[in-house]
Amino acid sequence: MLRGVTRSPLPWLAGLITLYLAVPVGAFVVRFATSSHRGFGTAGLFPSLLVSLESATISLALITVLGVPLAYLLARSSGPMASVLGVVVQLPLAFPPLMCGILLVYLVGPYTFLGRVFDGHLTMSVTGVILAQTFVSAPFLIVAARAAFASVDPPLMDVAATLGHSELSRFRRVALPVAARGIRAGMLLAWLRAFGEYGAVVVIAYHPFSLPVYTYNQFSAAGLPSTLAPTALALLVALGVVGLSRIRLDPRPRAASVPEPSAPAPSVAHPVAFDLDHRVGSFRLSVTHRPLGNRLAILGPSGSGKSTLLRCLAGLHGADAGSVHFGDRAIEDLRAEDRGVGYVAQRFALYPHMTVWQHLMFARGATPSIAAHWLSRLRLDGLQDRLPRQLSGGQQQRVGLAQALCSSPALLLLDEPFSGLDPPVRRELQRVLRRLQRDTGLSTVLVTHDPEEAALLSDDLIVLFEGAALQSGPSPQVFSHPASPTVARLLGIPNLHRAVVSSEGLIDAEGTMLAADTGAIAANTAVLWSIRPEHVRVQPEGPIAGTLTDIADLGTATELEIALANGLRLAARTGDRIRLELGQPCRIELPREAITLWPDPVRTSLQAASEAG
């Protein structure tokens, strides 16, 4: 391992910069230790230290109170105004400190408006020192805090909104704790920068001396030996402040006292209806839905607008997204915190600083007895004092679900809630959710890209593609009769083949004649046909001959691949025991009512062009 490390230039480069930073400090310590006259008795030394300590601390307080909200707004804003403010904040970093002092003269100098209002006391005073320090050191805190706020996962804020928390409450209870480390780092940099500021201070407030001004005056008057004491004091202060900043302030979570559980009142069904038309950049979502049941699933590929649709229902895109009804109640004019929805975001979206119990009690209006009920119901007993990092993926997902349920929502919104979990855990939680749907009667909207999950957890289904609904209706109907080949592919139906209508009720699938409901499709029309694998029946007396080319035992079912005489391959799925072996002939039946047909637009267009030519 050591030999591998020495081949890399990285340790040597790191060592060089470390040496460069450490050697001057070491040289000073040696000089200080061997010197007989260090200058601690020189007049003005400790008063100047107190001026720097006092002014830097007051400056940091001002920067924190004013700069942290600014950093939060900048992190959550975009557009020209945010860009301009970002440049203004960083300008003092680009200006030499001496010139920062010159700029401040135009604001607080004795002959300016502010200078006359305060009778010239804004300069040549501790107030002047504070003003100069604040100007040059504020960017260090604001830039660091902005980066920390920008790293807060947006779903954390979204979930807090749906749990009933206002913007100020989300800032105080979510953004600040999550971004605390970055803010503390910015505060440290800002204080140290203020404590050590010389250029701006010497222009605005030469008297009273701050420690840097005092040190420079000593150096100018008596040379290097006279600077030992102030330099030593500055070094000790810096070491002390850096040491204090390393102390972890995270309090140990207090053990939660879990009361006796009390089951919530039975949920009143609130089927969701909506007519949405919303743009996000160049992407447009336009979907209308009228419910037939309480459980809606939205199925589609990545980028189809599923999560955007869910956020519109939650109110996270505002009232302009379109009309939304929960049962008979129109809620599009309500803010997200007032809609009464439970929102389970992707990737669990748990708060790293909260225990399980604190998560369950975070919703506005949550009660301990109801929280205890969901703690027990979702098998989280004994985990109430754990933080998210101490939980498995499945446990974290249960916490997210329990947190949403503790708000007693009118509608539960689930954004691919099980996509990041291992298959056994995912299947277990799907069954948990299905039982909750059945037992509580709660209305749900599930976003997923998994057709089996959509079928298991929905009454109604919307197949979404590029912001539009390709098909919607009762889930069994959509799965049995996809409206188009694209829908069939999105539903995960592998059997999609070409054929030609031979006559009414009969298609020619590349030489294999199949009975199918041709409806109004004329003879000789090119079509696409599909059949779900579970509808392909392997029977000893089946009318169609084939050969078994693949077999996979999945435990709960067996998947087969069957090649027909013309080379056409069909996927089949059955729960029955298969006694055939690979390569053996078999017979299959394709029920007429299970075959879905669509005109083949590509081949029909080619055929029309050929006839026209």
CB 526 within 8 A of CB 500: yes
Question: Exposed/middle/buried for 49, CB within 10 Å: 0-12, 13-18, 19+?
Answer: buried
pLDDT of res. 602: 63
The answer to whether residue 612 scores a pLDDT higher than 90 is no
Whether residue 5 is predicted with pLDDT greater than 80 in this model: the reply is no
The 8 Å CB, 24+ separation contacts for 468-475 are: 468/286, 468/287, 469/287, 469/288, 469/289, 472/289, 473/292, 474/292, 474/293, 475/297
Which residues are CB-neighbours of 367 under 8 A, at least 6 positions away? 262
CA 399/CA 164 separation, integer angstroms = 18
- Residues with Cβ within 8 Å of 515's Cβ and at least 6 positions away in sequence, in order, are 505, 506, 590, 592, 595
Q: Sorting pLDDT into bands at 50, 70 and 90, what band is 245?
A: confident
The pLDDT of 351-375, averaged and rounded, is: 93
Report the distance separating Cα 485 and Cα 493, nearest Å: 9
pLDDT at position 387, please? 94
Are the beta carbons of 200 and 133 closer than 8 angstroms?
A: yes
- Is the confidence at residue 6, as pLDDT, over 60? no
Predicted confidence (pLDDT) at residue 1 exceeds the cutoff of 60 = no
Of 22-36, 63-77, 203-217, which one has max mean pLDDT?
63-77
For residues 248 and 188, which has the higher predicted lDDT (pLDDT)?
A: 188
pLDDT at 514 over 60: yes
Contact criterion met (CB below 8 Å) for 475 and 455: yes
Three-class secondary structure of residue 125 per DSSP? coil
Q: Which phi and psi (to 5°) does residue 283 adopt?
A: -90, 135
CB 228 within 8 A of CB 31: yes
Question: Is the pLDDT higher at 586 or at 603?
Answer: 586
Distance CA 188, CA 192 (A): 6
Q: Please, what is the average pLDDT of the chain?
A: 90
- CB atoms closer than 10 angstroms to residue 488: 25
The pLDDT assigned to 426 comes to 87
Q: What is the 3-state secondary structure (H, E, C) of 214-257?
A: HHHHHHHHHCHHHHHHHHHHHHHHHHHHHHHHCCCCCCCCCCCC
Report all structural domains of the chain as residue ranges with CATH numbers, in order of start.
7-31 (no CATH), 37-245 (1.10.3720.10), 272-480 (3.40.50.300), 493-612 (2.40.50.140)
Count Cβ neighbours within 10 Å for each residue of 295-307 and write b for 16 or more, e otherwise: bbbbbbeeebbbb
How many C-beta neighbours within 10 Å does residue 463 have? 27
Residue 447 confidence (pLDDT): 95
